[in-house]
Amino acid sequence: MKKIAVFASGGGTDFQSIIDANEKENFCEIAYLVASKPEIGAIARAEKHVIQPLVFDKTTETKGEFYARVAATLKAAGVEYIVLAGWLLVVPAEFIREFENAIINIHPSLIPSFCGMGFYGIHVHEKAIEYGVKLSGATVHFVEADVDGGAIIMQRAVEVLPDDSAEDLQQRILKEEHKMLPQCVKLLCQGKVQKEGRVVRILE
């Protein structure tokens, strides 16, 4: 069974969606929860499900030291895939090279719209509403050095309603994230995600 590590920076609802789906379908072993700071909600979720947390504490190490520690730990444990599930720290190119074509991310828009540096969290939905788009959604993609620029694995569209607030839109998109992300992790662990350049095919 494939081992994965999930990276999270907040409450961990995307992380929880993977835990819940995996408890039903048993498609991977969640070896680690990597947290961008102490005391976030995702850590409590990990501890509840006996998943080892690796936590970045900026008072004791640099980001470079943290990523080096995480890479060494994951390699030693045989982790094959990394899932960024609401991860707000930029992933350095060296780390990405160490796990080439093995890191996926979920982003709360239909890439290439409303993505890249500065587009994260509620800001994405504020910009979508401000621009007046009729559809937004979520994207799961491979991680490359270009922020949000990796090959797209899967997308789900969500209608933007006339009276939507950013929070309204965020919650509806989050529901789709919670369906799509576990599905992508399962397909990846089953060897059904085939990447050829920028084109990703889902195998039957």
pLDDT tens digits for range 3-24: 999 999 999 999 999 999 999 9
The angle, 0 to 180 degrees and rounded to 10, between the axes of the packed helices 13-25 and 41-48 is 20
| Structure tokens, 61 | 């190490």
What is the phi/psi pair of residue 3, to 5°?
-95, 140
3-class SS of residue 14: helix
**Which amino acid is present at 95?**
F
116: left (phi over 0), alpha (psi -120 to 50) or beta: left
pLDDT at 32: 99
pLDDT at 155: 99
| Residues with active-site annotation | 107
Helices (H) and strands (E) in the chain, counts: 6, 9
Q: Which fold has domain 3-107+139-157+177-199?
A: Rossmann fold (3.40.50)
Mean pLDDT of the chain: 97
CA distance 88 to 121: 9
Neighbours of 152 (CB within 10 A): 16
Kind and range of the H or E run holding 81: strand 81-84
Tell me which residues of the chain have a pLDDT lower than 70.
none
pLDDT at 14: 98
Q: Give alpha helix (H) positions in 27-165.
A: 41-48, 63-77, 93-98, 122-131
Beta bridge partners of 33: 6, 53
Contact 180, 106 (CB under 8 A): yes
pLDDT at 19: 99
- Whether the model clears a pTM of 0.75, i.e. scores above it, the answer is yes
Closest by alpha carbon to 34, among 2, 79, 1?
Answer: 79
pLDDT at 204: 84
pLDDT in tens, 26-60: 999 999 999 999 999 999 999 999 999 999 999 99
